[in-house]
Amino acid sequence: MLNDKLGIKKLYALSSEKRKFSFSLPLKHKIKIGKRNYEIKLKTDEKYGTYILWKNRKYPVEVVRSRQNKYEILFNDISYTFSVETPFSLQRMKVLSSSKGKTEQEFVKAPMPGKIIDVLVREGSNVLRGEPVVILEAMKMQNEIQSPVNGKVVKVAAKANNNVMKDDLLVEIKVD
Amino acid sequence: MKIKKILIANRGEIAIRIMKTARLMKISTVAIKTALEPNAMYLSFADEIFDNSEDVSEIPVFLDIEKLIAIALNTGADAVHPGYGFLAENAYFADKCIDNKIIFIGPSPDAIYKMGNKTIARKLAMKNGIPMAMGSEGNISNEEEAVAIASKIGYPVIVKAASGGGGRGMRIIRKAEEMERMFIIASKEAEKAFNDPSVFIEKYIENPKHIEFQILGDTHGNVIHLGERECSIQRKHQKLLEEAPSCALDEKLREVMGKMAVQIAKEVNYHSAGTVEFLLDSDKNFYFMEMNTRIQVEHPVTEIITGIDLIEQQILIANGEKLKYRQEDIKLKGWAIECRINAEDVQSGFAPAPGKIENLSMPSDPYVRIDTGIQSGSVIVANFDSMIAKLIVKGKDRRDAIKNCKMALDKVWIRGTKTTLPFFRLLVRNDKFQNGTFTTAFIENDLDKYYFNSEYEEILAAWLATKLFVEENLKEDSINVDFENGKEMSPWLMNKRVNQF
């Protein structure tokens, strides 16, 4: 098998909150809790769409998007973003992050389509986590789009009075 | 019965709610078909449909007074039910109906006007000795006056639009130096939103509970209350969960507050269903806030604990009949909780998430009532509110109702858009919610995240991501896995959301 040739025995799913889940290959359709294995069934039907059946309960699932090794998954109404890494790529990531230090960029994107009412930061502004950066109007409600991190604004893409689509870049922040 | 045919001047779940009762009363109904929702579920509940879908004007028909009157006259409707929102609290609309000999199912234009104007409402409450937060006597005319009054009352204060309501047009000010600027902003906002720049100032009650009393009055001067609802679970003044009764009230306080609510209703000769809203502070002092002169979104929780159909009462009252209940006939039994399942993304601060509902199924247990105007295939349009359904759950007491609510939440199945379900799943597990000590500041102050997921849900999601990776990158391996699980596999062609607004 290919994974034997490559010598890959494990894969890691890293969540956006830096939690790591490891799965051995070949990937089993089971998850172990305590001593028992619980089977995961993935199904699609007319009535429910695609879902996972686990421990006698159905969970709706949807792949919102995938790009290279990154996957956004909607699972029971909650979005998760994972990057799936092999032991090699994980090792490389560790080396890279330790040599370069933290130079993470945070891209603040429009959570929904709407109109920019106000841009509250400028290039070079320092922002704190939770600080509003843009006011976006959608469905007649004004929404404060907040910075998810502490950092410095390196790019402002949002312009007042412009319409934006979902996931359009608003502000780019260099994480402290 | 004078009323034979009702024009429903509304859409969605409340249109259906009204038509269901009308049908039981053998009154026929007319619903309006619009260009935005030509296939809406509510249309199938009407005896007659007025097709207005050719009309593409900017203003929705439900806000177009002239047009609604014309439709009522054209279809021979002898009464109009406005539902909530839109023109439900528009005195001019009520007046226009009367002018055209159409019965407006709601209070008199005079009562709507007086209670709609917060400054007048405050004066009437004061006249009746109803406790209120300290505040300006009338509207504030300029920023100097605002600063002077605010410092007399003491910060924090809240600036409210005189014509506002439903949580709109309010600003909290904590420091004197913010007052001048915020006053100007609030006044401008009020002018823009309500066509009336007048604002007034009140002492801001920190972390209160929101308690409201359901009122019924007839045209013969009888007014009763049907107990309270607690609506403290709100975000930016928008209610998310309501329950009846409230665990903050005992029999004595209920009687005192209920009497006050009846009194203010009598002051404006109130008839129909209405709601008197109070704030209750941690020392159980209560303060009159406002009166809503319409049927409310959260009316079902009162219906469940009293066994009274409020829409039926509205129709009977509009028909001129006397209330058949006296205050002592009203007995509160059990507990009811309503969760507003909205198309909102709780992971993005409750941002609206319009879209097409691909499939939807709701629990049908005996302890559940679902009020909805959405079915599989419906589209949540950005022009209207984001409500998908109201999940109303009953129990013999609060604990039982929460337990039932928790079960029911796991049985709701909605695909196509993100919803507020994960928030309610968190709420029913929260200690402060369970023990009843939460206030209107709960969502802001007591939660560090807005959704619940079990630890296994994240693991399962991670597994799914890994599975995708395996299939895309390690092909031979995936064939192997596929073979083992044969028919259980699905192709990774999941339904992408079609409608992105």
**What's the mean pLDDT when you consider all of chain B?**
91
Q: Find the closest chain A residue to B360 by CA distance.
A: A48
**Across A125-150, average pLDDT:** 83
CB of A146 less than 8 A from some CB of B: yes
Name which residue leads in pLDDT, B145 or B105: B105
Task: Select the residue of B386, B472, B477 nearest A2 (Cβ to Cβ).
Answer: B477
Strands B28-33 and B5-8: parallel
In chain A, % of residues over pLDDT 90: 39
Tell me, what's the pLDDT at A113? Answer: 83
> Does the beta-carbon distance from A50 to B495 stay under 8 Å?
yes
CB–CB of B463 and A33 under 8 A? no
Q: Please say if the pLDDT value at position A98 is more than 90.
A: no
The answer to whether A162 contacts chain B (CB < 8 Å) is no
pLDDT per residue as tens digits for the range B357-376? 998 999 999 999 999 999 99
A 10 A CB-CB count for B43 gives 20
The dihedral of CA B163, B339, B365, B384: what is its sign?
positive
- Residue B461 clears pLDDT 70, i.e. is over it: yes
Q: Looking at residue A140, what is its pLDDT?
A: 66
Answer whether A80 sits within 8 Å of B465, measured CB to CB: yes
Mean of pLDDT values over A104-115: 86
Annotated catalytic residue B294? yes
Strand duo B209-217 + B272-280: pairing: antiparallel
Partner A contacted by B185 (CB < 8 A): no
**Could you give all domains of chain A from N- to C-terminal order, each with its CATH number?**
2-100 (no CATH), 105-175 (2.40.50.100)
Q: How far is A86 from chain B (nearest CA, A)?
A: 10
Cα–Cα distance, B457 to B454 (Å, whole number): 5
Chain B residues touching A33 at Cβ < 8 A: 456
A10-15, strands of its sheet edge to edge: A20-24, A10-15, A78-85, A70-75, A57-67, A49-54, A36-45, A30-33
Given this model, what pLDDT does residue B487 score?
35
| B501·A78 Cβ contact <8 A | no
Task: Tell me how many degrees the CA angle B376-B378-B381 measures, rounded to the nearest 5.
Answer: 150
pLDDT, residue B497, reads 31
Query: Per-residue pLDDT tens for B332-349?
Result: 999 999 999 999 999 988
CA within 13 Å, CB half, B86: 25
- Closest-CA distance of chain B to residue A153, Å: 20
Does any CB of chain A come closer than 8 Å to the CB of residue B474?
Answer: yes
Candidates B17, B294, B340, B398; catalytic one = B294
Measured between beta carbons, which residues in chain B are less than 8 angstroms from residue A54? 456, 460
Q: What percent of chain B has pLDDT over 70?
A: 94
Give the predicted TM-score (pTM) of the model. 0.84
Residue keyed to tokens 């695609």:
A50
Q: Tell whether the model's pLDDT for residue B295 goes beyond 90.
A: yes
What is the pLDDT at residue B447?
93
> How many Å apart are CA B281 and CA B132, to the nearest integer?
12
pLDDT for A2: 46
Residue with tokens 């404060």: A144
The residue of A6, A77, A88, A163 whose CB has the most chain B CBs within 10 angstroms, and thus the best one to mutate to test that interface, is: A77
Q: Which residues in A lie closer than 8 A to residue B475 (C-beta atoms)?
A: 2
Nearest to B130 by CA among B268, B247, B335, B25: B268
Residues B201-210, mean pLDDT to the nearest whole number: 92
> B476-488 pLDDT, tens per residue?
444 443 333 333 3
What are the structural domains, with CATH classification, of chain B?
5-105 (3.40.50.20), 106-131+206-333 (3.30.470.20), 134-203 (3.30.1490.20), 334-452 (3.30.470.20), 458-501 (no CATH)
d(CA A61, CA B375): 20
Q: Residue A5 has what pLDDT? A: 52
Of B20-34, B186-200, B387-401, the poorest mean pLDDT is in B186-200
Q: Say whether residue A48 is in contact with chain B using an 8 A CB cutoff.
A: yes
Q: Do B494 and A62 touch (CB under 8 A)?
A: yes
Which pLDDT score is estimated for B408?
98
Residue of chain B nearest A62, judged by CA positions: B494
How far apart (Å, rounded) are the C-alpha atoms in residues A162 and A167? 14
Element (H, E) at B187: helix B176-194
Question: For position B492, what pLDDT does the model report?
Answer: 37
Q: Is A27 on the interface with B (CB under 8 A)?
A: yes
pLDDT of B18 reads 98
- How close B374 gets to chain A, by Cα (Å)? 16
The secondary structure of residue A23, as a DSSP letter, is: E
Rounded distance between C-alpha atoms, residue B91 and residue B109, angstroms: 4
pLDDT of residue A4: 52
Region B402-428: mean pLDDT is 96
Beta-carbon separation of B495 and A166 below 8 A: no
CA Rg value for chain B: 24
Q: What is B198-218 written as a DSSP string?
A: -EEEEEPPSS-EEEEEEEEE-
Q: Do residues B20 and B31 touch, judged by C-beta distance below 8 A?
A: no
Q: Residue A102: what pLDDT?
A: 52
Task: Give pLDDT, residue B430.
Answer: 97
* pLDDT tier for residue A79 given thresholds of 50, 70 and 90: very high
Write out residues 49-68 of A within 8 Å (CB-CB) of B. 49-50, 52, 54, 57-63, 66
Q: Would you call A50 and B348 a contact, using CB atoms and an 8 Å cutoff? A: no
Read off the pLDDT of residues B60-112 as tens digits, 9 standing for 90 and up. Answer: 999 999 999 999 999 999 999 999 999 999 999 999 999 999 999 999 999 99
Contact status of B479 with chain A (Cβ, < 8 Å): no
If one compares B442 and B494, the residue with the highest pLDDT of the two is: B442
Give the highest mean pLDDT range of A35-39, A153-157, B114-118, B313-317: B313-317
Kindly tell me if the per-residue pLDDT of B444 is higher than 50: yes
Indicate whether B128 pLDDT > 80. yes
Partners of residue B466 in chain A, C-beta under 8 Å: 11, 13, 21, 23, 27, 82, 84
Q: Is A21 in contact with B415 (Cβ distance < 8 A)? A: no
> Does residue B413 sit at the A interface (CB-CB below 8 Å)?
yes
Measured between beta carbons, the chain A residues lying within 8 angstroms of B352 are 112, 138-139, 141
Burial class (CB in 10 A: 0-12, 13-18, 19+), B23: middle
- Does residue A135 register a pLDDT over 50? yes
Contacts of B58 in chain A (CB under 8 A): none
**Chain A residue nearest residue B343, CA to CA:** A77
Number of A to B CB contacts under 8 A, please give it. 169
